[in-house]
Structure 1
């Protein structure tokens, strides 16, 4: 067989000579010789580390980083895990993800892959191709372009094969669809996907994902970040203005970076001037911009780009709300739709992270988001529609507050014609617990209702303004938000004056005297009462005339009890003539205290007793409790005061309950029961602090001394 041709056409001898000096093995079997060459070693595959570095100025996020440490721990083994960081535009999702990825570098033997879906979408915002994301990852894993499959399915299969052996961390930035995440899930146990998104991506929970909403920074963290960006000296030179600027940026790191960039770029720009720019009613977002394409407004515009038309319309109109919070009914009023439609659209906005977390079905827009929505409304909504939307919002609050007033206060004097205002509207406060539900609504809506009242007065919706102000006193009589009450009463009385409604103006001015007296503005209170008396007499409204005199008597209680008695007697006579039993009972109640102060204790106690009995028969537990408290106070009866305190607690009349608790504490302390005194005084402090009373601090000191 020697000398016969080999498979390559040469003889065995020739083969040996031809390949002399080369590493080979020649195997001859019959007439065929096989050559096995040792191929050169392939170049080592570089482990990818693609995640971009985070910013060097990074504050807080301790809890979120700890959550990711626990959930994405590669040493835990098991199937690959998913975490999704979501939140408002500019809240720092990408930076937080990158910072965590830096801490995890080296813990995943297969490396760290990174895909920026915003880059894949490009400037037009078109849908990012999952295939492009897979291709990027495969290139990083050593697959050359010529070997990349043509179809999505084949790309996904090759990706799973390439990530099947060693744990890999995949960071996906600015994801908009769940499929972006699920398609890029590695195959090896111990792998992880960390995605950032402006959307909630709740569907990924079905794949076992952990959703990690990212909240704005708190005020301290925001101040630290601004100081690090601008230099501590620059911020320390204007501490109050810096605090305003941090508050205006609302805890969004990107807003703080933009503010710092403005300050560093324009050295003559003071922190105070920039804060004032941001606080401007119109165009304030321009303060957080270096150019039209690089600013807070542009960033929020990108977040809105993919919203359906009806959700975008609601977004714009939510920017027209005078207040910050809203429920579905308020959103429907702004939108001109119905609550069911509004709820559906709010879900869309919530999924896009444009709403802050709902509490008790109430939503909020972040302040910068609200400004952007309002700017969009001013540019995209006709003036007539903006005016119509505000009118719907004011009507909604006026009607809802009137229903709440009726549920809380029952049958009392009102100038608002409820039959006219409320006919055709569904009462939201009915059934057991309606009163408490209505009072809770008034408290929850307190700031927003006052903002609506301001807007109504500013835009000439005067009739609705005074009606809303009258209804809001149901809250103020119970929770004593004195500053709010003064503003509401002042706006309402001025609006009533502009409409020429003397009865409404008289009613609101007399009610306004109460918070003015409580805050020590006695001269102004007297002026309001004098004006109210003239207006009430001119209106010819008998019950109103009696009510205004009752309020006047309460002013004179402080200065001239005998004169107060005469004024209360006039009020009583007018109420009796008008067949107004509750008004008569109230006049007797206040007259009782004035009589005792004047030295006629017997007549005073008789008046208080008659008042208590009448109010109890009328079912007015709140005022009956106050009458019983007065009797207990003058009789030094702890038992009566205890019962009165419980009646006032039952009706949630916190201010008056606090007064009784304080009285009880003093009575019990003098009798030697210090422990019980502490309990009552502690409750009084709690109630006064909740209402913002300056006396809370005084009683707190007294409590600590017991």
Structure 2
């Protein structure tokens, strides 16, 4: 009798595939086009980290290697008790176990924000080398790509301040010897049902560890009795111990007895060291703050008025404080040494929620810091957003030129400040400020190209509401159009049509109405209604030609703007126009885009190739589609590549070359599966099934 097959692998390999039956064809791993070195995102632990070794040992036991499934540890404890530092320390000691990367996500800053986990997944995928066009626009698509990439790898994922179990589940990597370390900021007990999850309680610092911590920060020996009294008054809260120690170090002339007196006054200690998160550190922060100079106090006050809950740049702080950059940097370093804030990158700082709340309570905004923060982010958002797509023209048409010169790295700045810009948008909406409308228009090209669909939806929803309240029908209509694209990208076509139709009805400006009609035509085409799409896109072309006649002046910029609008209208109409009339439309579009806009030139070739297949011009169509595929490959447009591969499959099938058709459809299906393009992937797989595989 033959030996029975063993379901085991004994050896070493980068990847192992288990097959339950016959395997035909190839096995494909969809890696980034330009893989990056293993990320190392987890912050380093504090230099003077101390804690009970039992907690670190418990984490090691829960995360011991083996088992084939990622293990999860949730560290739980009182606010300010050192949960994050404990996790950072463990990762630092065991980083060698995770050669494929250390990933970090802070989640409590986004409590209640839609799409946060999706944004984190996108950041993880960017960190390993995927480019923006390779990353799906949907959360499910990003989760699938993250699972695919992480499967079989050894990585550590730190999820800081998780407030919901679903956040942890969405960031958990695929099968393999990986670890997920979570600090609990909300109830996560439901994770127990998942299996492979352990909870490690973090007790207050033991007296021995607390003595070591304070003595290490202060840098000198303290009276043992006074030291023990300080520790008793702090009840082992790490954040309170650090604040007291930093104050003692910065003001050696102030005896520890003074601190003890402050914390021992009637009712003060209970407020300072109660288990209520807001009150557990307030007096300690006040004591530290009393020892700060004027400049650090001004910068500390700014943290309380900052609109975002994430990182704050040096430039933003300087604008809010109306101080020189060097002065603010020096003051921020004082705050870092006092452990009130910490660095988060080059000239970027992060303050925890308790610090921000304390700063806000101590320094009511009677100095205009919040207003100056808003003005800073608004000016930069408009300038940098305009720089992403200068030819769009809506800012100039509706408000005039940008108010500030953009930087050379507009994309980098917009990406780094995305969370803060969302916060500013929320504040502007709450205040009913019409500046939100200008911000929404400026940011749309960035949201569109990066496929930040959730931002596109929320910010333009709020902008349309504000514009309506200010009786700005054209701006409200443009915001509706911009929001409609969020629903189009999600595949919610009926909602997109509804928004585009509402925009067309509400607008009083012909350019906005034409844009709404054009957008509606594109969605009708997506829905498979060529007759309705043709009607809308014919109206759009007529409107574009009329606008050029009526609005164009002697300025060359105006001439180019209307010529571009006509070229786009020709391309879109050619995609659905009768075969006898579409070729001239494509030629008109190419005459404008060739040599000017490579992506739109490739799109015209793609549509001319598709229509050529419909008309039986198979050789010419194949040449157009091949040229479009080469261009989109060079431009890094993955979704467009998948579309064109399907078009080439249809072309090959039309001439009876079924092997070539299968090859094209199979390549398209693989691209779609790797990137989460579900709708297009279904089309490719259905075509493959129709050809017998």
Normalising by structure 1, we get a TM-score of 0.53
Question: How far did residue 370 of structure 1 move?
Answer: 3.0
Q: Which residue of 2 aligns with 1:375?
A: 357
Aligned-residue offset at 1:681: 5.8
Contact 2:625/2:644, CA 8 A, preserved across alignment: yes
Structure 1 residue 572 corresponds to structure 2 residue 548: no
Aligned residues: 458
Distance 2:325 2:51 in 1: 45
> Does residue 392 of the first structure (1) align with residue 372 of the second (2)?
yes
Alignment of 1:110-509 (within 5 A): 236=189, 289-290=274-275, 295=280, 307-319=292-304, 320-352=306-338, 358-359=344-345, 361=346, 363=348, 365=350, 369-385=351-367, 388-415=368-395, 420=400, 422-423=402-403, 425-429=404-408, 437-460=409-432, 462-509=433-480
SS at the partner of 2:594?
Answer: helix
Gaps of 5+ in 2: 1-48, 62-79, 94-157, 163-167, 173-178, 207-270, 549-561, 614-620
- Is the partner of 1:290 in helix, strand or coil? coil
Change (3 A) 1:252 1:486: farther
Q: Which of 601, 608, 611 is the equivalent residue of 2:579?
A: 601
Report the Cα distance in structure 2 between the residues aligned to 1:515 and 1:448, rounded to whole angstroms: 21
Matched position secondary structure for 1:324:
coil
Q: Distance in 2 between matches of 1:313 and 1:559?
A: 60
Is the CA contact 2:320–2:369 (under 8 Å) kept in the aligned structure 1?
Answer: yes
**Separation in 2 of the partners of 1:470 and 1:621?**
24
CA contact (8 A) 1:625 1:644 kept: yes
1:295: Cα distance to partner? Answer: 3.0
Question: Residue 644 of structure 1 aligns with which residue?
Answer: 628
Q: Which range moves more in the overlay, 409-418 or 510-519?
A: 409-418
Cα 1:676–1:575 shift into 2, 3 Å: closer
Deviations 1:288-329 (A, max 9, x none): 942699835566667766554323432332342224234332
Residue number in structure 1 paired with 2:599: 622
Q: Deviations over 1:359-415 (max 9, x none)?
A: 5x47352xxx43123212321223443xx3333333323322222333221222415
Change (3 A) 1:222 1:594: closer
Task: Quote the offset at 1:445 in angstroms.
Answer: 3.2
d(CA) in 1 for partners of 2:205 and 2:401?
Answer: 47
Partner of 1:610: 588
Cα deviation for residue 465 of structure 1 reads 0.8
The yes-or-no answer on 1:547 pairing with 2:524 is no
Which consecutive residues of structure 1, in runs of 5 or more, have no partner in the other structure? Answer: 1-50, 64-87, 102-213, 258-285, 430-436
SS for the counterpart of 1:411 is: helix
- Distance in 1, matches of 2:680 and 2:330, equals 44
1:640 to partner: Cα distance? 3.6
Distance in 2 separating the partners of 1:58 and 1:520: 47
**Equivalent-residue separation in structure 2 for 1:575 and 1:610 (angstroms):** 13
What secondary structure sits across from 2:576 in the alignment? helix
Q: 1:607 to 1:495 in 2, by over 3 A?
A: same
Q: Report the secondary structure of 2:56's partner residue.
A: coil
CA RMSD of aligned residues (A): 5.2
| CA distance 1:53–1:384, change in 2 (3 Å) | closer
Tell me, in whole angstroms, the C-alpha distance in 1 between the residues paired with 2:184 and 2:515. Answer: 55
CA distance in 1, matches of 2:582, 2:272: 64
Matched-pair contact (CA < 8 Å) for 1:404–1:438: yes
State whether residues 668 and 677 of structure 1, in contact with CA within 8 Å, keep that contact through their aligned partners in structure 2. Answer: no
Tell whether the 8 Å contact from 2:488 to 2:523 is kept in structure 1 after alignment: yes
Give 1:490 shift: 0.7
Larger Rg: 1 or 2?
1
CA contact (8 A) 2:52 2:205 kept: no
Change (3 A) 1:447 1:627: farther
CA distance in 2, matches of 1:500, 1:255: 57
Give deviations 1:575-594, integer Å, cap 9, x for gaps.
Answer: 22222111111111111112
Partner Cα separation in structure 2 for residue 567 and residue 96 of structure 1:
57
- Secondary structure of the residue aligned to 1:547 is helix
Alignment partner, residue 181 of structure 1: none
| C-alpha spacing 1:450/1:237, structure 2 compared with 1 (3 Å) | closer
The verdict on how the C-alpha distance between 1:499 and 1:614 changes in structure 2, with shifts beyond 3 A counting, is same
